[in-house]
Amino acid sequence: MALFDLPLDQLQRYAPEVAEPADFAEFWAATLATAAAKPVLIDVRPEPSDLALIECWDVTFAGFGGDPIRAWYSRPAGVSSELPAVVEFLGYGRGRGLPHERPTYAAAGYAHLLMDSRGQGGQYGNGGDTPDPGATAYGGPGPVTRGLLDPAEFYYRRLITDAVRAVEAVRALPGVDPSRVAVAGNSQGGGLALAVSGLVGDLAAVLTTAPFLCHIQRAIEITDADPYAEVVRFLAVHREAEDVVRRTLSYVDGVSFARRAVAPAQFGVGLRDTVCPPSTVFAAANQYAGEHEIHVYPFNHHEGGEAVHVRRQLRWLRRRFFGAGSGF
């Protein structure tokens, strides 16, 4: 894919006005207060990881509406001390898969909670284990169009609430230092990490790569790639619903969450990314309220920096948790 978005020098200054509903803060405060009324942990049971150096547990916690959300909790085997934790969120269409699939954070010495995405898991990877009981409102077939005509019924209201509750769940698990919790994710997972950073005020760090759901109004204008193209196809059929749809999407825009986020953050972006266009990522990064940095991969698409970026994330995270003298 050739370069298609703004030049890099313009991207580095790009901080557009992004429409935010007047009741944005109240909407999310009320949503999270309702979720917090229920105890967060439902079930925790050992699960074989099939990896000699990593222990794993199958966790179920209460998400939006008290719905049971599945997750894998992993940590270095034989370590009983309280560890800093990373809560990881998944990309669009992917479920939590199998317990040995994502060993990076546990292998690096962290407690790791990998949240399943409700109602997803059928497009990539090895599936998921969490249904979406709330998927009853009218909308399109994909997650980004479920309940799109009403902010209260929109799929991402439920998924973002689940993500906030995942942070609460990891803090309640044994062997976790609750004062040192980071959130991380790529694509949809990056969008969730950004949303959580704006809703949870005491995170230790944020790792967000190619975040989905940022500057959404621009994204649906400049890319034909899914998942944003699912919104376009929905509006191609529901021609009179544009204003309603744009209003619904404004309640989950990552730029609005970024404006409220204070934890140190590291962003990553590929300049040829048509899935999450670079201007949408920079729109959030340039308005992120806390300390942050962004790593740019000029010749990469949605895959971004891959292992090179993961190495940067691990080294940055270790400095955040353990200081400059931590060996990197």
Residue 129 falls in the annotated catalytic set: no
CA 73 to chain centre: 17
Dihedral sign for Cα 160, 306, 95, 108, please.
negative
Residue 302 falls in the annotated catalytic set: yes
Which of 74, 187, 256, 279 is catalytic? The answer is 187
Give the burial class of 28: count Cβ atoms within 10 A of its Cβ; 0-12 exposed, 13-18 middle, 19 or more buried: buried
Which of 162, 250, 273, 309 is catalytic? The answer is 273
Helix, strand, coil % (nearest 5) of the chain? 35, 20, 45
Q: CA angle, corner 290, sides to 118 and 288, nearest 5?
A: 65
Residue 279 falls in the annotated catalytic set: no
Beta bridge partners of 181: 85
Q: CA angle, corner 203, sides to 119 and 49, nearest 5?
A: 50
Rounded to 5 degrees, φ, ψ at 89 are -115, 155
Residues taking part in catalysis: 187, 273, 302
